């Protein structure tokens, strides 16, 4: 028997059915494994409201390639919209376009919930994948290869056996926490001083977009910024204000909020409406942004961290998820290279992948300065060039 067929008898447990966990379930099922996924939330396809970070995601070529490998690219991208560059808004509402690349290169804006639902359905279409909803990982006994979950309805504990466990449980990964208790995992996390708040520009009365649709709209204001991504399902724009928490704290009355928006984002304020904005500031707490690095990503030959569980990054490069999907491409390549021999695949994957992922983490941190401040000087240079033509 080849190493591959021996290994395929192993039971894979994936913790987390977010975007990375659901896609990894598809990859492992394609390779012939039996996969049990454990997700703490209920099935989001049946839920009215889904709590989570960011309503929209920018999907770039890294992410698209992983989807293409499983034949899912078209299904996902038809639920999104292309963004060909940044549309930069000045203080008076004037705009300037900065393309992302040459010849109409674009990234896609995708509705996060719809995206996750599609990947969960894709995972469940394999007869060898079973998703256990409302199962929250609470403990691990690695020596016995056991995971303990708490069922959300009854609080009952359930212990299951695994051969290989994959932690796709996000930035606050419980699997990573348990690995840290048992091994010498290097770990660092950083909360940046900025927070974010999601707002919305609704569609026009006739259902059309209020701003040109194929752009990432950006209001760079040096120490803070507002961005807007087009949202296909309802033709709204999902707006995100990123600012130091001191700014959020200082906006403690409706009057101050309106003055701040009038001074900095007058066109966006008009489209969102004053009542909507003041209500958002009264009811929505600004959310923190965390960057996580750790190494190694593997636990000997039976555990691995993927996606945000391994490398959560601040969102300014729009690459957190894309990088998580790229983990899966690289993981897949090591599975081929070492004929499914996890003794080799897991440590080699960790060694190789952590270098690139940590670099992406650093780039994401640096791109905040580019987006909120440096983009203004780039516009200045662009204007100069145009003046000289």
- Residue 231: CB minimum distance to ligand FAD, A: 12
- Residue 57: CB minimum distance to ligand FAD, A: 4
Say if CB 66 and CB 59 are below 8 A apart. no
Token look-up 């960011």 returns 54
- Residue 130: CB minimum distance to ligand FAD, A: 15
- Closer CB to ligand FAD, residue 170 or residue 220? 170
- Residue 170: CB minimum distance to ligand FAD, A: 3
Return the HEC string of 324-356.
HHHHHHHHHHHHHHCCCCHHHHHHHHHHHHHHH
d(CA 178, CA 165): 12
Neighbours of 322 (CB within 10 A): 21
Tell me the residue number closest to ligand FAD, measured at CB. Answer: 18
- Closer CB to ligand FAD, residue 18 or residue 230? 18
- Closer CB to ligand FAD, residue 267 or residue 308? 308
- Closer CB to ligand FAD, residue 124 or residue 340? 124
Decide the pairing of beta strands 34-38 and 225-231.
Answer: unpaired
- Residue 339: CB minimum distance to ligand FAD, A: 27
Return the HEC string of 187-225.
EEEEEEEEEEEEEEECCCCCCCCCCCCCCEEEEECCCCE
- Residue 384: CB minimum distance to ligand FAD, A: 31
Non-local (6+) Cβ contacts of 350 within 8 A are: 295, 296, 297, 298, 304
d(CA 224, CA 194): 8
- Closer CB to ligand FAD, residue 6 or residue 284? 284
- Closer CB to ligand FAD, residue 14 or residue 338? 14
d(CA 306, CA 28): 13
Kindly write down the DSSP assignment for every residue of 214-254, as one continuous string: SSEEEEE-SS-EEEEEEETTTTEEEEEEEEEHHHHHH--SH
- Closer CB to ligand FAD, residue 88 or residue 140? 140
For 204-234, letters b (16+ CB in 10 Å) and e give eeeeebbbebebbbbbbbeebbbbbbbbbee
- Closer CB to ligand FAD, residue 7 or residue 367? 367
Phi-psi region of 112 (alpha: psi -120 to 50; beta: other; left: phi over 0): alpha
- Closer CB to ligand FAD, residue 220 or residue 315? 315
Token look-up 């999902």 returns 238
- Residue 204: CB minimum distance to ligand FAD, A: 25
| Structural element, H or E, at residue 261 | helix 254-264
- Residue 18: CB minimum distance to ligand FAD, A: 2
- Residue 215: CB minimum distance to ligand FAD, A: 14
**What residue ranges bind ligand FAD (CB under 6 A)?**
15-21, 38-41, 53-54, 57-58, 136-137, 168-170, 174, 196, 240, 307-308, 315, 318-322, 324
Cα–Cα distance list, 244 to 103, 128, 223, 348 (Å):
36, 46, 8, 39
Say if CB 323 and CB 292 are below 8 A apart. no
- Closer CB to ligand FAD, residue 7 or residue 16? 16
- Residue 206: CB minimum distance to ligand FAD, A: 28
d(CA 111, CA 167): 24
């Amino acid at each position: 028997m080849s190493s591959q067929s021996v290994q395929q008898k192993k039971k894979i447990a994936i913790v987390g059915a977010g975007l990375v966990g659901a896609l990894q379930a598809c990859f492992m099922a394609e390779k012939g494994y039996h996969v049990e996924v454990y997700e703490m939330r209920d099935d989001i396809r049946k839920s009215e409201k889904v709590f989570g970070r960011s309503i929209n995601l920018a999907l770039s070529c890294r992410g698209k390639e992983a989807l293409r490998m499983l034949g899912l690219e078209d299904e996902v991208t038809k639920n999104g919209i292309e963004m060909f560059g940044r549309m930069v808004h000045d203080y008076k509402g004037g705009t300037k376009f900065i393309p992302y690349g040459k010849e109409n290169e674009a990234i896609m804006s995708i509705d996060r919930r719809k995206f996750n639902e599609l990947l969960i359905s894709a995972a469940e279409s394999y007869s060898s994948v079973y998703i256990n909803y409302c199962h929250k990982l609470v403990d691990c006994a690695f020596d016995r290869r056991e995971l303990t979950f708490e069922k959300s309805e009854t609080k009952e504990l359930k212990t299951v056996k695994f051969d290989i466990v994959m932690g796709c449980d996000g930035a606050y990964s419980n699997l990573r926490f348990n690995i840290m208790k048992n091994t010498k995992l290097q770990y660092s996390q950083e909360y940046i001083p900025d927070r974010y708040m999601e707002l919305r520009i609704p569609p026009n009365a006739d259902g059309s977009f209020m701003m040109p649709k194929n752009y990432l709209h950006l209001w760079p204001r040096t120490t803070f910024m507002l961005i807007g991504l087009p949202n296909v399902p309802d033709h709204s724009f999902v707006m995100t204000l990123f600012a130091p928490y001191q700014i959020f704290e200082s906006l403690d009355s409706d009057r101050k909020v309106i003055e701040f928006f009038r001074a900095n984002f007058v066109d966006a304020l008009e489209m969102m409406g004053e009542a909507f904005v003041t209500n958002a500031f009264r009811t929505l707490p600004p959310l923190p942004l965390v960057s996580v690095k750790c190494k190694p990503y593997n636990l000997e030959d039976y555990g691995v961290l993927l996606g945000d569980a391994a490398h959560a990054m601040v969102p300014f490069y729009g690459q957190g998820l894309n990088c998580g999907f790229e983990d899966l491409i690289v993981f897949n390549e090591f599975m081929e290279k070492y004929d499914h021999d996890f003794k080799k695949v897991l440590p080699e994957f960790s060694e190789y992948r952590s270098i690139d992922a940590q670099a992406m983490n650093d780039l994401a941190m640096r791109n905040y300065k580019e987006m909120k401040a440096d983009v203004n000087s780039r516009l200045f240079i662009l204007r100069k060039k145009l003046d000289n033509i």
